[in-house]
Amino acid sequence: MHVQEWLETVPAVSIYLLVGLVIGLESLGIPLPGEIILVSAALLASQHGDINPFVLGACASAGAVIGDSIGYAIGRKGGRPLLAWLGKKFPKHFSEGHIATAERSFEKWGMWAVFFGRFVALLRIFAGPLAGVLHMPYWKFLIANVLGGIIWAGGTTAVIYYVGVVAEDWLKRFSWLGLVLAVLIGLTSMLVVKRKAKKATAHKQAAEPEVVPAAD
């Protein structure tokens, strides 16, 4: 069976639950491709009337807000040892360089780091847990979390959906290109953060004084 034909057989409620679950887990602190899933689902909704874009956006927003809130609670309770544990489990995502980059963003922007972090792949994973670890006041976190989650999830769904509607005929003939574009969007944002993290790590290592062993 062709992939496109298989997707048409998937119930809409399954798409809603999948999007909400993946985005919620990503926001909680688990490295998952939430943005790619959302973009792909919005493209699918633009081609198939069974998937309601408003319900899709609402489920994505709910997953983002709830996941971030759970991540905040876990970070608040786990503290620094939690980041160390995550670094061992997910070294590519929770390396010292990535954590240092995220911390500087929080120090500079405060609650707005949670809001703007929603639009950057790796920062979406850090925002909730790191805000808890740094003991950001919950009311500030909640405001930025709700606003960021709704605007990111709802906005992404709306933009991709209406672009898909406009280009419906083109996408039907070259549907695989939509998935390629979705993957490129997620990878590009991830690579940008990784490059910044590497620079931060190199700068930190260069700034550390060289330790000279004591003579016997």
Q: Which two tokens stand for residue 168?
A: 């419906």
What's the CA gap between 190 and 38, in Å, rounded?
Answer: 16
Instruction: Read off the pLDDT of residues 44-99 as tens digits, 9 standing for 90 and up.
Output: 888 777 889 999 999 999 999 999 999 898 888 877 776 666 666 666 666 666 67
What's the CA gap between 45 and 119, in Å, rounded?
Answer: 21
- Residue 213 inside a domain? The answer is no
- Residue 19 inside a domain? The answer is yes
- Residue 208 inside a domain? The answer is no
- Residue 10 inside a domain? The answer is yes
What's the CA gap between 129 and 141, in Å, rounded?
Answer: 11
pLDDT on residue 63: 93
Kindly state the DSSP code that residue 216 receives in the 8-state scheme.
Answer: -
31 pLDDT band (50/70/90 cuts)? confident
pLDDT at 213 over 50: no
- Residue 141 inside a domain? The answer is yes
- Residue 64 inside a domain? The answer is yes
Average pLDDT, the chain: 75
Q: What is the mean pLDDT of residues 107-132?
A: 79
- Residue 212 inside a domain? The answer is no
pLDDT at 25 over 60: yes
Structural domains of the chain, count? 1
**What pTM, to 2 d.p., does this model score?**
0.68
What's the CA gap between 101 and 193, in Å, rounded?
Answer: 8
Give whichever of 86-95, 126-135, 168-177 has the largest mean pLDDT: 126-135
Structural domain including 38 reads: 3-200
- Residue 210 inside a domain? The answer is no
